[in-house]
């Protein structure tokens, strides 16, 4: 099955299934730990104790003796998992199959690529033979675990247990088996650098009546990544880009994950994935993507903290010898998961204008703090540098301009590409920036941190996101977000 993004795998097929429980005892009548059991029924009234005597209190006592005892909480949460946007494979880049939407798939599909077409696009199709209707729902239901020692019941996301149901021993019976927070101290110099700075910023920003809740940072790094120049260059200009960059463009990958201690659990609140390019004479970095969860406390400082994290990374970058950065405000399609699946209901995706303004505030503060020397929009940079040909525009992984140049390189005529690209100058003139850092003496200790700290899941956005999808680690409520966060901690 092809891994997202874009999500081209086939969404879960709709079927008749048990609705989420409206009463715990009803749900557990035949369903424990995700398996049907031939154990004693938890029905509220067994046939041999029907109310034939009229003694209601005795019946109620017998009923209460039969009901399962939940050890985790007194809530009756919705145990169904949310679905998420899937990409319509009709060819329209921004077309989505949204949760609860009906969509269409071929009756028979072969291979890794799975077709799925939204209703709107399906109506435009000529040949509709052999297609069947499905619905974008998530069939998985949160499991109920029974402790093998005390026989108490736990909701899966309250349990912080990630193994097989038959092996479950709860936190009350085996507290030493559960790790809900990150180890002290951080795992590397760069994580310590970010952690000390952001905790200092948080402490200095709190009001007198606001509680300090510690922030922890973990980073991963690998310098062995590369992309073929030919994969980024427009075909008619490929040889010229290879002459400029070489046959491959090498870069290092860095991931920064930020947690906050909340109710004795380290809750992930922010992640950033970046690429760092070290070329003779000029080195730069690019924020490939970042995402946050609207659960930082206090909420009044949330935006400031997330923006400060970007600036701390900029400061770190210049102290390890990187001189410039490129930044693109590229919000996801509404409803898409950027990194964290299923956000809180009160956290919509930002509009392009909102995200542009967010980054502008970051860069303006970075300039006033002395980290950034200058930043210019593409329109300003194009005029400043006098761009005259495609090779004047930097290309790199996740670059805005590489796919646009490839798309406009029609007919393989080099002289026409620059003119064809003129339509993009205006539409993308203000949503991407060229950033120049103020020079600073290299920090030798920090520079030595550029050592391999590879992680097959947490270093790559696509792998981390796919792992969350695969395990139904969702972030829509505090209960589920903390379960997902501890799942990530257990990978570290």
Q: Is residue 123 part of a domain?
A: no
What is the per-residue pLDDT for 9? 42
* Three-point CA angle 210, 216, 217, nearest 5°: 135
Two tokens at 178? Answer: 């559960």
Residue 361 covered by a domain: yes
pLDDT digits (tens, 9 = 90+) for 49-95: 334 334 444 434 444 455 567 888 877 777 899 999 999 998 788 89
Q: Which residue has the tokens 């973990």?
A: 218
Q: Is 144 part of a structural domain of the chain? A: no
Q: Is residue 64 part of a domain?
A: no
Residue-range definition of the domain harbouring residue 452:
189-491
Q: Which residues contact 418 (CB under 8 A, 6 or more apart)?
A: 388, 389, 390
Mapped onto helix, strand or coil, the DSSP state of residue 36 is strand
Residue 57 is predicted with a pLDDT of 45
Whole-number pLDDT of residue 183? 85
Indicate whether 1 belongs to any domain. no
Helix pair 352-368, 302-319: axis angle to 10 deg = 60
Residue 329 lies in a domain: yes
245 within a domain of the structure (yes/no): yes
Model confidence pLDDT, tens digit, residues 212-249: 999 999 999 999 899 999 999 999 999 999 999 999 99
Q: How many domains does the chain have?
A: 1
- Residues (pLDDT < 70) of the chain are 1-68, 111-112, 185-186, 280, 448-450
SS3 state of residue 89: coil
Output the pTM of the full model.
Answer: 0.84
Looking up tokens 């406009």, which residue turns up? 408
Per the CB < 8 A criterion, the answer to whether 134 and 13 are in contact is yes
User: Would you say the C-alpha torsion 186, 190, 193, 196 has a positive or negative sign?
Assistant: negative
- Return d(Cα 81, Cα 468) in angstroms, integer: 12
Does residue 428 form part of some domain? yes
Determine the pLDDT at residue 186.
Answer: 64
């Amino acid at each position: 099955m092809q891994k997202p993004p874009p999500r081209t795998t086939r969404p879960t097929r709709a079927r008749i299934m048990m609705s989420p429980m409206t009463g715990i005892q009803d749900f557990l009548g035949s369903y424990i730990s995700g398996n049907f059991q031939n154990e004693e029924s938890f029905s509220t009234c067994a046939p041999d104790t029907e109310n034939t005597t009229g003694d209601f209190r005795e019946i109620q006592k017998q009923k209460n003796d039969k009901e399962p005892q939940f050890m985790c909480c007194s809530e009756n949460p919705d145990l169904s998992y949310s679905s998420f946007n899937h990409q319509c494979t009709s060819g329209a880049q921004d077309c989505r199959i949204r949760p609860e939407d009906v969509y269409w798939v071929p009756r028979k599909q072969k291979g890794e690529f799975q077709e799925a077409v939204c209703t709107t696009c399906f109506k435009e199709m000529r040949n509709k033979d052999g297609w069947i209707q499905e619905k974008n729902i998530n069939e998985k239901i949160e499991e109920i675990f029974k402790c093998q020692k005390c026989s108490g019941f736990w909701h899966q996301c309250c349990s912080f247990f990630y193994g097989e149901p038959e092996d479950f021993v709860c936190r009350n019976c085996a507290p030493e088996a559960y790790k809900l927070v990150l180890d002290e101290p951080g795992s590397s110099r760069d994580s310590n650098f970010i952690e000390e700075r952001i905790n200092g910023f948080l402490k200095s920003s709190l009001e007198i009546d606001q509680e300090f809740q510690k922030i922890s940072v973990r980073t991963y790094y690998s310098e062995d990544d590369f992309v073929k120049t030919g994969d980024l260059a427009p075909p008619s200009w490929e040889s010229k880009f290879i002459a400029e960059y070489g046959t491959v463009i090498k870069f290092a990958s860095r991931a920064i994950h930020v947690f906050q201690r909340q109710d004795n659990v380290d809750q992930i609140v922010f992640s950033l994935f970046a690429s760092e390019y070290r070329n003779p004479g000029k080195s730069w970095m690019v924020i490939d993507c970042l995402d946050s969860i609207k659960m930082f406390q206090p909420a009044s400082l949330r935006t400031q903290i997330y923006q400060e994290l970007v600036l701390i990374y900029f400061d770190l970058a210049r102290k390890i010898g990187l001189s410039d950065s490129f930044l693109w405000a590229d919000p996801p399609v509404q409803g898409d998961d950027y990194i964290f699946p299923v956000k809180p209901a009160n956290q919509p995706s930002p509009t392009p204008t909102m995200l542009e303004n967010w980054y502008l505030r970051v860069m303006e503060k970075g300039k006033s703090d002395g980290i950034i020397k200058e930043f210019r929009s593409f329109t300003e940079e194009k005029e400043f540098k006098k761009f005259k040909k495609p090779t004047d525009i930097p290309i790199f992984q996740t670059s805005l301009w590489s796919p646009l140049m490839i798309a406009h390189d029609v007919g393989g005529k080099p002289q026409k590409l620059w003119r064809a690209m003129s339509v993009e100058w205006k539409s993308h003139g203000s949503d991407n920036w060229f950033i120049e850092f103020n020079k600073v003496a290299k920090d030798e200790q920090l520079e030595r941190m550029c050592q391999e700290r590879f992680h097959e899941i947490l270093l790559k956005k696509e792998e981390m996101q796919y792992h969350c999808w695969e395990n139904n680690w969702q972030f829509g409520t505090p209960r589920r977000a903390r379960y997902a966060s501890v799942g990530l901690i257990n990978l570290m």
